[in-house]
Amino acid sequence: MKKNAWKFGIASVGAILVLAGCKPTQSSANYTYNTSLSSSPSTWNVHNWQTSDESYINSFTEIGLYDCILNETKNGYTFVPEMAADMPVSVDPGDITDEEIERYYAGSGNVVTGMVWDIPLNKNAKWEDGVAIKASDYVDSMELQLNSEYANFRADSYFTGNFILANAENYYKQGRSTIESLYKYLDESIGDVKNSTGVYYLNIGKGSAYTQAISSSADTTLYTLLNQLPASGSAAKLAADRIITAYSYYLWKSSDHTTSKNYTSWLNVNDKNDPTQVGQTLIEGDNVDMDIEIFNNGFKNAAGETDYVKTIKSNKESWSDSNSERYTRDMFEADMKTFVASVDRVAPASKSWAWKLPLFTAVFTYEGDPLSKDDLGIKAIDDYTLRIYLAKSITPLNLRFSLTGNWLVNVDLYRKLTVTLASGAKATTYATSKVENYRSYGPYKLTYFEAGKQFEIKRNDQWYGYSDGKHEGQFQMDEIVTKIYSDHTTALQEFMAGRLDDIDLTVSDVRTYGASSRCQTTYESYTQKISFNSDYAKLKQLQGGKENKTILSNKNFRKGLSLSLNRTEFASQATSGSKGFTGLLNDLYLANNATGESYRATAQGKSVYGMVYGHLGGNTIDEENGAALAESQVGYNRALAIEYVTQGMKEELQSTRDGHLAAGNTISIEFRVYDDASENTIAAYNYINRTWTAIIQSAVQKLKDQRVFGANDDIGFQLSMAKDMDYYTTAKNGGYNIIFSIWGGAAVNPYGLMQVYCDNTFESCCEYGFKGHQAETMLGIDANGDGTIDTTSEVKSFDAWYRAVDSGDEYNEAKYGDEVATTDPNYEAWYETHNKKLNVLAGLEAGILNRFEAVPLAARGTSSLLGFKVENATNTYVSLVGYGGIRFMKFNFTNTAWSDYCKQNNNNLSTLYQN
Amino acid sequence: MKSALKMELTNQNLQETPNPESPNPRNTFRRVVDFCKKGIIRVGKAIGHFFTRKDVKSTLAYIGKRLILMVFTFLVIFFICFVLVRLLPISVDTGMKDQEVFYKQMVAQGRYVQNADGSYSPMPIMQQLGNFIVNLFSGGSNPWGFSYHIEWLASPDQIMARQLPPTVLINVYSMIISIPLGLGLGTFMALKKNKWEDHVLNVLVMLFISVPSFIYAFLLQYLFGYVWNVLRPTAESANAVGGYFSGAYFASIILPILSMTFGSIAGYARYTRAELTEVLTSDFMLLARTKGLTRAQATVRHAFRNSMVPIFPMILGEVISVLSGSMIIENIFQVNGVGGLYLQSIQTRDFDVFQYVSMFYILIGLVGTLVVDISYGLVDPRIRMGSKK
């Protein structure tokens, strides 16, 4: 027994040691690339991907019809056919049959070159299980991509931008409707909206295209317009009051307000039993669309009884039974006519149907004949030829760009994994949760997936590229093992132990490893900016007590804050790889897609800095003759910053507006951020807080010296950080002071990015004070470059400039071709248009920057360390293709050799990586 | 009570002949095995005894009362949790990628209502609660909703089932190590009370109790995983290395097991030492020795048994809590368990998963507390439950 006890003890310890010594199963692969992500993708369905993590797996397992790869000289990019057998062939419009025109172009007959393309498909392309991929797979996949029942997130990729598939938008939107301002969609020839359902809504609590046309502000509600008519006892005033009261009555009676956040206010109305007490706050707060048929048909009140809308008979008396009457649709229509006529500031106000202008209507997003899959602008000509019908002409270069992404899915599996949700909508679990739910067709295939932990991607033996002779020397790695490390420190240690082959660096890591020969920066097309809320009214609402926020509406103040930021210092202290930057479009944006010329490298791109900082180099304010601020200063001039902040504060102190800055106030700015615990965010906040506190203290002292306010008074400053994971939505509604807004777009289309700043209808514009005013704010741009601004043709609103440069014919350089050589007869015309377009782009960029509502800080980049095990094709970052990617990555070590190398270094390579 | 004790001692004397062997440390293992065997038999007897006692009625009534209270507590917590979770703002960004589908789905799940004008607004929370309960008991599909971020359209229970095995495994291994070691160490300390061995161990025990587990988790990971390279610093993906019971997987979870074990060992040792020290100085121990039992016999058979009264419920609590994971330890060692799932559900705003995991944790806590309380009566018949006197 004694012996047994000892044996048992020894055996137990031995077993533990043996197990501890066990290594994970060694892969038979020679070249394994080990990498990590911080979280696992919930889906990698190409129809639905949203975040970069969600497109990670299919970047290995799928490939486009064409691919943009590093060129032979490794300093640019070139296109190669992949899933396509050859380059796309433009179909002569004359060869398009009447049946095709009827089907895809609704009988318009307006088919021009560049709208119909034939794409020969690669006959060797197969799914990972060896089944051939044919043209019908592309057609069926596109149908699923655009099927309205699935409502796939990426559907709009095929009906917005350059690549617009015929009938795609209508196919996707058929059967859907939204409520829109009637005025916005008005067709004057019919006095209505073309696709109207005939249901009209009254909503006096929100702004509309109509209220904007009258007041020039998208925020002005119909209530404000109705309420601001002079109280002269006029018929118009009575009509307006009757509309307000009727709407208020409906709001008051139609729902139970006991659960409302405005319950106490509603209680007041209930107590007084008077709909005229409802007031602006409740009307604009509840913001309800009321079907105007309710005026005739009545509605179910909160008690479930049928009730009818009532309103006042006269506005000379208060609400009472004797001064109220049932309000019918006819009465409403008559009152609306009176009101609309009284504010006759929009063109059709005199028309008989003009009473509908302030209303909303349910608009069918598509109300034509039902479309079938066959109507989609994609057709299989034969098994290996795909014909694409586009709604808009596209150049060969842009087409190849567009087709670097793919929409191909394994249709049978996709359908098999489709579930019908309780709502009736369909969703598929294709490309989610397990290997069996997915089919690869790229150079690699997914072989293992454990959500939240690890996935493995191995060489796909069925891929044509390994045997077609066109990919020799490419895709050397056999296997990619990706582990999920939510904790960065662990991931970094794994990298230093040689178990990961790359690692993104944080701000503090950059201090240690920034000088490493293995450190590389991957630039992104994003610019990190501070976006200010400059809307005085909104800021006033957000401030309370002794706080002041309205000062953010002062341009000089914002300008001063901008000049105070040393962007180079900011980038080094608060970012891991970004570089200080003052523009909206960084080096990655291309001015010429054919040559790869960067917009920033053009004369126009370079001129922007001068247009903004041309007179900001001195130490006193001189807007006309001030010296230029050196480009090396990257928008930083501390002395002038103090001057502008002082000037801004002085203007606000002397303002007579309600809610202006006063002595004794604290300028309290709330900085809304996505993650207030992130190392980079904290570093950024600390830098900005430190800088602005110092600047404002200096400005306050100056103001004291100038006796703008008493020596015993003071003005404080406080910058607080608030976590708001939905801060873009908050910004959309103006409920913020400042945020980091980080916008970027397709590097091949810098003009498109201007939408986020200049498009009057763009909902997510982050500069709230400017949002909705782009169509009325004028900007002069020397578009033709003759040195003067022609007030008739070169002064337009921001919105008009954007639309002209983005889609207008005047600046459409593509009509001359996209790879125009100097010998080409079109070259001069192309060159002139090209330059004009760049002039407008530079003018728009400078125009936005000069408002100092969007203050750029850094061009986004991420520093990372690349392991000794592998080598990129180039050390110079190339737009669109980075350092060459996995296609050209070479291995310095096999798995075994690397393991030995790490052992020789005690599995700790940190010292080596510092050099 | 005294008569019961006397009878017990007498019975033991009748059943067993005194061990002629002198106390020898080499016999300890055999004794522990014997003790465990007898312990199991005694627990069985105690359960039998428990249900045949005269006061069983009042005990069952007590258990019934506690069960009702537990259900009530669970419902209160569930209500609070439900209300708070439903008050959190959700938007289309929360998951469904199309606004219209998102709102329709919310309507179908009883969270939103579509107004006459076609717009959507959140349903009053009490109505949402009603809908949730109806859905839960009507056997509707996915009553707990869906995950939109952790695993697209998977139900929270599916995800939970997937994440449970590593958590359970680590907890079980940790328990297997910590209970015998903790009890053994505590016994040793009690026997060596106020000697240098006791003092040294006391310092260590206090150190491991005072220092949060994540500190030595980091330390273990750094030293064993990265400096000395003798153990895997992070857990492997089980299926990639041959399954949960493969050697490679076990090797990769040794460090998290140790991290979870140290605190437990220290806790058990401290309690055992305290209880055993008290029991060893009791009068009946003197009686046992005077009746001819060796020190070891008296300690193992009488003192240790009595000292187990407060410790056994602790063990029972730990057995139940094997289902719950340690958020911090799992995060440090990248264990793909329920602790990490809880954190992830918060970080990604996967609210349905968050609510499900929260309720799961709460249920484990409540059941654990109830079982521990009931076990006092099982372990020590002298403890009367539900007695009004």
Q: Is the pLDDT reported for residue A364 higher than 80?
A: no
Residues of chain B with pLDDT under 70: 1-29, 31-32, 36, 43, 46-55, 89-100, 116-119, 140-141, 325, 381-389
Average the pLDDT over each of A280-284, A366-370, A514-518, A801-805 and give the range with the smallest value. Answer: A366-370
Of A429, A490, A906, the CB nearest to B229: A906
Query: In this structure, are B319 and B252 located in the same domain?
Result: yes
Distance CA A359, CA A243 (A): 12
3-state secondary structure of A544: coil
Q: Are residues B133 and B224 part of one domain?
A: no
Determine, for residues B241 and A25 on separate chains, whether the beta-carbon distance falls below 8 Å: yes
Residue B60 lies in a domain: no
* pTM of the predicted model as reported, rounded to 2 decimal places: 0.75
Please check whether residues B238 and B143 belong to one and the same domain. Answer: no
Residue range(s) of every CATH 3.40.190.10 domain in chain A: 32-62+435-501+867-914
How far is Cα B42 from Cα B254, in angstroms, rounded to an integer? Answer: 34
**Helix A329-342 to helix A235-254 angle, to the nearest 10 degrees?**
130
Q: Which is nearest to A33 in space by CA: A893, A915, A876?
A: A893
Selection from A523, A560, A557, A528 nearest residue A740 by Cα: A528
In this prediction, residue B116 carries a pLDDT of 63
Can you tell me the distance from the alpha carbon of A724 to that of A729, in angstroms, rounded to the nearest whole number? Answer: 10
Q: Tell me the per-residue pLDDT of A817-840, one tens digit each, with 9 for 90 and over.
A: 878 888 889 899 999 999 999 999
% of residues, chain A, pLDDT over 70: 93
CB contacts of B139 in chain A (<8 Å) are none
How many angstroms away from the CA of B54 is the closest CA of chain A? 43
Q: What pLDDT is recorded for position B15?
A: 40
Q: Which residues of A touch B112 (CB under 8 A)?
A: none
Q: Which residues in chain B touch residue A421, judged by CB atoms under 8 angstroms apart?
A: 101, 105, 108
The answer to whether residues A725 and A676 touch, using CB atoms and an 8 Å cutoff, is: no
Number of domains in chain B: 2
Q: How confident is the model at residue A468 (pLDDT cuts 50, 70, 90)?
A: very high
Interface contact B251-A423, CB threshold 8 A: no
CA distance B82 to chain A (A): 17
d(CA B384, CA B61): 12
Q: CB within 8 A of B76, min separation 6: which ones?
A: none
Q: B229, A907: Cβ pair inside 8 Å?
A: yes
At residue A216, the pLDDT reads: 64
Q: Are A429 and A47 in contact (CB under 8 A)?
A: no
Which of the residue ranges A371-380, A391-400, B82-91 would you say has the lowest mean pLDDT?
Answer: B82-91
Residue B173 shares a structural domain with residue B142: no
Domain-located, residue B40: no
**CB–CB of A831/A866 below 8 Å?**
no
Task: Please determine, looking at this structure, whether the domain spanning A78-165+377-407 carries the CATH number 3.30.360.10.
Answer: no
Task: Please tell me the predicted confidence (pLDDT) of residue A395.
Answer: 87
Q: Which two tokens stand for residue B202?
A: 């006391």
| Residues 6 or more apart whose Cβ sits within 8 Å of residue B109 | A422, B131, B135, B145
Q: What is the pLDDT of residues A663-716, one digit of tens each?
A: 999 999 999 998 888 888 999 999 999 999 999 999 999 999 999 988 888 999
CA distance A561 to A691: 9
Residue that terminates a domain, selected from B152, B182, B197: B152
Indicate the length of chain A as a whole number.
915
A126 pLDDT above the threshold of 50 = yes
Q: Which of A114-118, A288-292, A909-913, B250-254 has the lowest mean pLDDT?
A: A288-292
Residue B368 and residue B281 share a domain? yes
Evaluate whether residue B42 is within a structural domain. Answer: no
A-chain residues near B331 (CB < 8 A): 486-487
Q: Distance (Å, rounded) from C-alpha A840 to C-alpha A827?
A: 20
Averaged pLDDT for residues A588-605: 91
The residue whose two tokens read 């800055």 is A661
- Which is more confident, A629 or B63? A629
The secondary structure of B105-152 as a DSSP string is HHHHTTSEEE-TTS-EEEPPHHHHHHHHHHHHHTT-S-TT---SSSST
CA dihedral B11, B14, B20, B23 (to 10 degrees): 0
B101 domain-assigned: yes
pLDDT of residue B343: 85
B contacts of A422 (beta carbons < 8 Å): 105, 108-109, 140-142
Check: CB of residue A445 under 8 Å from CB of residue A460: yes
Q: Which structural domain range is residue B260 located in?
A: 156-379
The whole-chain average pLDDT of chain A stands at 88
pLDDT-derived band at A531, boundaries 50, 70, 90: very high
Q: What is the dihedral of CA A198, A201, A207, A208, to 10 degrees?
A: 10
- By DSSP bridging, strand A502-504 and strand A519-532 are unpaired
Indicate whether B273 belongs to any domain. yes
Are B297 and B267 in the same domain?
yes
Q: Report the relative pairing of strands A479-484 and A32-37 from DSSP bridges.
A: parallel
Give the pLDDT confidence score for residue A157 in this predicted structure.
Answer: 85
Q: Which residues in A318-343 are b (16+ Cβ under 10 Å) and which e?
A: ebeeeebeebeeebbeebbbbbbebb
Q: Considering only the beta carbons, identify the residue of B100, B231, B349 that sits closest to A176.
A: B100
Contact B39, B304 (CB under 8 A): no
Question: HEC states along A621-680?
Answer: CCCCCCCCCCHHHCCCCHHHHHHHHHHHHHHHHCCCCCCCCCCCCEEEEEEEECCCCCHH
What was the pLDDT predicted at B47? 67
Rounded CA separation B67/B73 (Å): 10
Yes or no, beta carbons of B334 and A483 under 8 Å apart:
yes
Between CA A284 and CA A263 the distance in angstroms is: 15
CA distances for B74 relative to A57, A530, B137, B161, B364, angstroms:
42, 46, 17, 21, 10
- Please give the backbone phi and psi of residue B223, each rounded to the nearest 5 degrees, phi first: -70, -55
Q: Is B299 inside any structural domain?
A: yes
The domain boundary residue, chosen from B129, B152, B175: B152
pLDDT at A520: 92
A855, exposed or middle or buried, with CB in 10 Å at 0-12, 13-18, 19+? Answer: buried
B348 within a domain of the structure (yes/no): yes
The whole-angstrom separation of Cα A659 and Cα A35 is: 54
Structure confidence at residue A679 (pLDDT): 85
Collect all residues of chain B within an 8 Å Cβ-Cβ radius of residue A22.
Answer: 246-248, 250-251
Predicted pLDDT of residue A31: 96
Q: What crossing angle do the helices spanning B351-379 and B56-87 adopt, rounded to 10°? A: 160
Question: Do B195 and B142 lie in a common domain?
Answer: no
Give the C-alpha separation, A343 to A354, whole Å. 11
Domain boundary among B152, B174, B193: B152
pLDDT at A349 over 60: yes
- Give chain A positions within 8 Å (CB) of B152: 42-43, 45, 429, 432-433
Comparing alpha-carbon positions, the chain B residue that sits nearest to A155 is: B98
- Please tell me whether residues B226 and B307 are part of one structural domain: yes
**A153/B163 CB distance under 8 A:** no
Record: contact B105-A425, CB cut-off 8 A: yes
Encoding tokens for residue A273? 């039993």
Distance in Å, alpha carbon of A769 to nearest chain B alpha carbon: 24
Please indicate, yes or no, whether residues B131 and B220 belong to a single structural domain of this protein. Answer: no
> Residue A275's closest CA among A248, A294, A300?
A248
- C-alpha span between A271 and A278 (Å, rounded): 12
pLDDT value, residue B99: 66
Task: Please give the interface size between A and B, counted as residue pairs whose CB atoms are below 8 Å apart.
Answer: 176
Strand partners, B121: B113
Task: Tell whether B77 is covered by a domain.
Answer: no
Give the pLDDT confidence of A556-585 residue by residue, as tens digits.
Answer: 999 999 999 999 999 999 998 899 999 999
Distances (CA, A) of A381 to A378, A656, B72: 9, 72, 68
Which is more confidently placed, A197 or A913?
A: A913
Structural contact between residues A223 and A280, judged by C-beta atoms closer than 8 angstroms: yes
Q: How confident is the model at residue A174 (pLDDT cuts 50, 70, 90)?
A: confident
> Which of 3.40.50.720, 3.90.950.10, 3.40.30.10, 3.40.190.10 would CATH assign to domain A32-62+435-501+867-914?
3.40.190.10
Q: Are residues B188 and B146 in the same domain?
A: no
Q: Give the whole-angstrom CA distance, residue A888 versus residue A73.
A: 13
Indicate if B148 and B187 belong to the same structural domain.
no
Q: Please say if the pLDDT value at position A640 is more than 70.
A: yes
Q: Determine the distance in angstroms separating the CA of A852 from the nearest CA of chain B, rounded to an integer.
A: 29
Cα distance between residue A695 and residue B266, in whole Å: 55
Give dist(CA B66, CA B73) in Å, integer: 10
ipTM of model: 0.76
Q: Which residue in A180, A206, A433 has the most chain B C-beta atoms within 10 A of its own C-beta, making it the best mutation to test that interface?
A: A433
Q: What is the CATH number of the domain that holds B343?
A: 1.10.3720.10
Element (H, E) at B87: helix B56-87
Residue A280: per-residue pLDDT: 82
Q: What percent of chain A has pLDDT over 90?
A: 57
Lowest mean pLDDT among A196-205, A693-702, A730-739, B278-287: A196-205
Burial (CB count <10 Å: 0-12, 13-18, 19+), residue A345: exposed
Classify B184 in phi/psi space as left (phi over 0), alpha (psi -120 to 50) or beta. Answer: alpha
User: Is residue A893 left, alpha or beta, with left meaning phi > 0 and alpha meaning psi from -120 to 50?
Assistant: beta
B201 shares a domain with B187: yes
| Class (C level, CATH) for A524-859 | alpha beta
| A24 to B124: CB separation less than 8 angstroms, yes or no | no
Q: Which residues of chain B does A454 touch, with a Cβ-Cβ cutoff of 8 Å? A: 236-237, 240
